[in-house]
């Protein structure tokens, strides 16, 4: 059962003040935030990684020009409507999935402390599930609180592909509460995201 990873890296990051996906952390010599999550996604057990770009797309794309640096194929897909919200990025990512993909694991590009084990737990839970796995939505939890990344089985691809505006996959989750399976992980970073430079500095 092939699982694809989709990394959402198209946003303007208005509250941050500059493109946070290109921010280097914890030092100026460190990888960018988007590189961190792409490398983690590639090691999580997925068959491909798709990076949805928008703001500063050329610079983000240039980070992944050497496909040999990854254990799985890494591709970048441009969202021409990135300024209109995350929904279009989700849709662009879904439409670019490999035809045989059975699930999509969506990563945010602003979770620099996310543990590899958390992503692996979601992929393993999906691949080891029974024949109804493709109608599942898997969400990691830490002490009962839901976080990211989130995995959607193939059954929801059509709904994700028509999202638009500033509406992400959360609307699909809310529409199918009976399909949600929570996967407990030992990782408070699933609850983190970085909206401001001060928040990124505080993670150190």
For 137-161, write each residue's pLDDT tens digit.
999 999 999 999 999 999 999 999 9
Q: Which residue's structure tokens are 């839901």? A: 146
Answer yes or no: are the C-beta atoms of 43 and 19 closer than 8 Å: no
The pLDDT score that the predictor gives to residue 15 is: 85
pLDDT per residue as tens digits for the range 68-120: 557 899 999 999 999 999 999 999 999 999 999 999 999 999 999 999 999 99
**Confidence at 17, pLDDT banded by 50, 70, 90:** confident
Domain positions in the chain are 2-202
Q: Which homologous superfamily is 2-202 in?
A: Spore Coat Polysaccharide Biosynthesis Protein SpsA; Chain A (3.90.550.10)
H-type alpha helices, the chain = 33-42, 57-62, 86-95, 116-127, 157-160, 170-175, 197-202
């Amino acid at each position: 059962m092939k699982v694809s990873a989709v990394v959402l890296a198209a946003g303007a990051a208005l509250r941050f003040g500059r493109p946070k996906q290109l921010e280097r952390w914890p030092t100026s010599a460190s990888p960018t935030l988007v590189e961190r999550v792409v490398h983690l996604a590639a090691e999580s057990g997925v068959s491909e990684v798709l990076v949805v770009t928008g703001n500063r797309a050329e610079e983000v794309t240039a980070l992944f020009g050497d496909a040999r640096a990854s254990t799985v194929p890494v591709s970048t897909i441009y969202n021409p409507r990135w300024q209109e919200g995350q929904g279009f990025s989700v849709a662009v990512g879904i439409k670019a999935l490999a035809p045989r993909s059975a699930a999509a694991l969506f990563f945010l590009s602003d979770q620099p402390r996310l543990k590899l084990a958390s992503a692996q737990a979601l992929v393993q839970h999906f691949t080891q599930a029974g024949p109804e796995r493709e109608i599942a939505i898997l969400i990691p939890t830490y002490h009962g609180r839901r976080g990211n990344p989130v995995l959607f089985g193939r059954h929801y691809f059509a709904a994700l592909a028509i999202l638009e505006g500033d509406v992400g996959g959360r609307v699909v989750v809310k529409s199918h509460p009976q399909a949600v399976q929570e996967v407990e992980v030992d990782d408070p970073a699933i609850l983190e995201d970085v909206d401001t430079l001060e928040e990124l500095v505080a993670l150190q």
